[in-house]
Amino acid sequence: MTNRDWKLFGGKPPAELADARLQLHHAAQVVASTAITYGTRKPDDSHTNMGYEDGALVARPFGPGNTLSARLRIAKGMIELRGGGGDAVSVSLAGRTQQSAYDQLAEAIGSVSGGALAGPLTKPDYELPDHPFANGAPFTADHESLVELDKWFANADIVLRAIAGNAREGEEASAVRTWPHHFDIGTLISLDAGADEDKDAESARSIGLGLSPGDETYADPYFYTRAYPFDGEGALPALDAPGFWHTDGWHGMILRAGDLIRERVPEQTARRHLEQTVSIARSLLEA
């Protein structure tokens, strides 16, 4: 049974998670490569995204009868391949290069599939932030950071599922997924889900919300909510602290990890922030 309890923070401070997060980002490419190699390609690249389940980012099933699945076990720093019979092969990342991880996973797939799937895995070609792990250096992320990052993904999955489950009539919320390119976990609420199919996709209204474990915008994890299309014209609605508006290059409502962990009840603050920002996004889009 999946544990849906909010996990208490208390390990590494959010500002100190960047190095481990970058290594996990590149490790996630190894898991995503199974969908690229053996999955059915979709125009929006959604075949590469992953769900969060019991401490792991799980790629879409593949292989004979879709009985195989690869997953990145975040806290353990491990890639795992599971077969239809419940058997599993684990590849520890510690001290291993990214290329070695690709090779070991490909070998495990060949073994578990009885030779039906063989050969090297096709690597994603996304442009990612650089890290030595992607260039021949071994995986060195410390256990404390990995455990803390897993808590951020787990907690985000909980609150985002709740928000997505409360989409209004006429709206459609996507499943909560992690995309290997940006490495964020999120959902998209389409406000024009019931509109005519000929409606211009560029003008279709939507609310994107999720959690980034950190990126070039903010090094520490942060929740975001963005309304589309919205160009930031006019006065921006006020947000309850510690939420704030990001306006440099793009407009979105933000709640940073460094602020959230100082709250007396972080889970309540996160839920309240997302509920408020989704409501504001609807008003900005006149939904």
Omega of the bond prior to 180 within 30 degrees of 0, cis? Answer: no
Residue pLDDT, tens place only, 143-178: 999 999 999 999 999 999 999 999 999 899 999 999
Omega of the bond prior to 132 within 30 degrees of 0, cis? Answer: no
Tokens matching residue 103: 């090779």
Q: What is the pLDDT of residue 3?
A: 47
Residue pLDDT, tens place only, 49-108: 999 999 999 999 999 899 999 999 999 999 999 987 778 999 999 999 999 999 999 999
Residue pLDDT, tens place only, 248-286: 999 999 999 999 999 999 999 999 999 999 999 999 998
Mean per-residue pLDDT over the chain, rounded: 94
CA–CA separation, 71 vs 32, rounded Å? Answer: 9
Alpha helices, DSSP H only, in 183-265? 257-260
Tokens matching residue 14: 């959010």
